[in-house]
Homo-oligomer: A and B are copies of this chain.
Amino acid sequence: MTDPRREFSIIERYFAGLITTTSSAILLGPGDDCGIFSVPAGQEVCISTDTLTAGVHFPLGAAPAVVAHRALVANLSDLSAMGACPLTCTLALTLDAQSSTDIWLAPFADHLRELIDQYAIPLIGGNLSSGPLSLTFTVLGTVPAGQALRRDGAQLGDDVYITGHLGNAAGGLAQLQADGSRSSMLLDRYQHPTPRLATAMALRGLATAAIDISDGLLADLDHVAARSEVGIEIALEQLPLSAALLENFDLVRCREFALAGGDDYELGFTAGIAQRQSVAAVALATQVEITRIGRVVVGGGVQVFDTTGQPVPVARRGYAHF
């Protein structure tokens, strides 16, 4: 705190390389009062911001690369939920004594650079300060005017779909908390989730509503139901569960993870019945499994039904932020 140059030396050493000049939209990167970007004609801009705090959203002592991954992907997943194409991002990083060291910053910045390259979302600016460790990414993406996948477009009779598998991240977290598991496919899904950007972009014009599954399937689909003023029915046996999850937990627990676990960052969406072949084509083209799990009905909220058509009572509906 005594060296006025320290902030600038950390930025120079670890973060200067995170602004890539490969994007023609970035007109001015970090180092001025603001960054400057341009937006192509006919495009709208989607924006989302999310904070992760040590001890709240990730354990104190979490691996820096995992922190970087989960923080940026949580935000990229919000872009995917709109069908947006990544444009740029900012990072407000608050570092404590432990994280303002090379041991923490080097792997954090290295992994962040990989993600920024992989998802083509150059860092246009940021803020570095000292305090309790936390990260706030703000991400921006573009969609053709009027084509964003919003939460409020679900129509009566629509199918309800989910990408990938549900519950893997919650299963991985449960393993970590139970036995300190250091490696498994499930843990990897928790620590290194994948935003479904390409699939979401391909669903523009097909999906009527979309949301990313960050808090848990029921909690998130509740938002779609509320904003669209409809009800959603889910078929319990249709929930896509991975072989790895089923091998490690009994079926009841797997379904609990799938319904309320959160952290999967899969995409939930609705689409008209007439679009079933087109949705299948998107799955094939973007190499992501897409499973039909329910339908949009008259009413409100989300209800789960078993194979006999009986409603299934569900206790925990998702992660509470606050």
On whether A51 and B1 interact (CB within 8 A), knowing A33-B81, A46-B36, the answer reads: no
A152 within 8 A of B: yes
Given contacts A32-B82, A37-B47, A55-B131, 17 further A-B contacts (CB under 8 A): A2-B320, A4-B318, A4-B319, A6-B322, A31-B227, A32-B150, A32-B151, A34-B81, A34-B82, A34-B148, A36-B45, A37-B44, A38-B45, A47-B138, A128-B321, A130-B321, A131-B134
Minimum Cβ distance to chain B for residue A275 (Å): 21
Give every chain B residue within 8 A of A94 (Cβ-Cβ). 51, 53, 134
A168 within 8 A of B: no
How many A residues touch B, CB cutoff 8 Å? 75
Which of A53, A219, A227 has the most chain B CB atoms inside 10 A of its CB?
A53
Interface residues of A in 58-81 (CB under 8 A from B): 78-79, 81
Whole-angstrom CA separation of A32 from B212 in the bound complex:
10
Select which of B124, B125, B129 is within 8 A of A322 by beta carbon. B129
On whether A57 and B134 interact (CB within 8 A), knowing A31-B151, A37-B45, A317-B4, the answer reads: no
A sample of 6 inter-chain contacts (CB < 8 A) reads A35-B48, A37-B45, A45-B45, A50-B92, A127-B136, A129-B321
Select which of B50, B90, B211, B212 is within 8 A of A47 by beta carbon. B90
Give every chain B residue within 8 A of A39 (Cβ-Cβ). 39, 45
A41 within 8 A of B: yes
A7 within 8 A of B: yes
Minimum Cβ distance to chain B for residue A127 (Å): 5
Contact status A132-B53, CB under 8 Å: yes
A243 within 8 A of B: no
Contact status A48-B129, CB under 8 Å: no
Closest residue of chain B to A54 (Cβ to Cβ) is: B131
Whole-angstrom CA separation of A255 from B54 in the bound complex:
41
